[in-house]
A and B are shown apart, each in its own frame.
Chain A
Amino acid sequence: NAGVTQTPKFQVLKTGQSMTLQCAQDMNHEYMSWYRQDPGMGLRLIHYSVGAGITDQGEVPNGYNVSRSTTEDFPLRLLSAAPSQTSVYFCASSPTQGRGETQYFGPGTRLLVL
C-alpha cells in the first residue's frame, strides 16, 4: 500500500490563481480530511469527509472547496489564492470516523502564494 499520497509536494502561486491539491489513499478509508499547518499554530482542520459524496467544513474553511466523488480521492481546491493561504497542507485518512481512530497523514504539500 502507498498509504496517503499528496501532489504536488511544492507549489508557488500568484495571488488570484486557482489550483487543486490532490490527495489519494489506497486503504479504503471512509474518513478523509485536510489540515493546514502554520508556524506556532499546530494543524487546523479545513474540510473533512465521512464518505463518498459527503463533505463538511472544519475550523478554517474559507477560501477552500472540496468534493469526494470516490472513496480514494479527496482534492482540495483554492479558487482564488491569497498570501494568507501560504502554508503546508496535510491530507489525512482513517478507517472510520470513530473518535479513537488513528489518522494516517500524507507527506504534505508546501504552498507559497506571492
Chain B
Amino acid sequence: AQSVTQPDIHITVSEGASLELRCNYSYGATPYLFWYVQSPGQGLQLLLKYFSGDTLVQGIKGFEAEFKRSQSSFNLRKPSVHWSDAAEYFCAVSSTGRRALTFGSGTRLQVQP
C-alpha cells in the first residue's frame, strides 16, 4: 500500500528566507505526487503536481518541487518566503485502486517577521 511521510510537523522560517519541506513516499509503481496548501479555516488548494517528465516541477505562488526517484522524495521549495505563506502543507500520492489521494500528516509553516 502507498504511504506518505512528512517528517517535519512544524517549521518556522523568517520572512525572506528559503524554505524546503520534506516529503517521502512509498509506492510500488510510478507515483503521481501532489503538494496542497491549507490556509487557516480554508480547504486545500493545489500547489503543484508531478507524474511524468521533468523532475523539477513549478507551481503557483513561486513554489517548486523536485522528484527524486532514488530517494523516494518529492520536496517542496521556495527561494524566499512571504508572511502569507504561513499555512499547513500536505504532500499526497495518488493511488491506482481507489483513484483517491493518500496524504501525509502535514507540515505547519510559521513565518516570522
Contacts and interface: CB of A to CB of B under 8 A. Distances in A.
Interface of A: 4, 31, 33, 35, 40-45, 48, 50, 56, 58, 90, 92, 97-100, 102-103, 105-108
B99 A97 contact: yes
Contacts of B51: 99-100
A4 B100 contact: no
A45 to B, nearest CB: 5
B55 to A, nearest CB: 16
B44 A58 contact: no
The 3 closest A-B pairs by CB, nearest first: A42-B103, A105-B43, A97-B99
A98 B51 CA distance: 12
Nearest to A96: B99
A92 B94 CA distance: 14
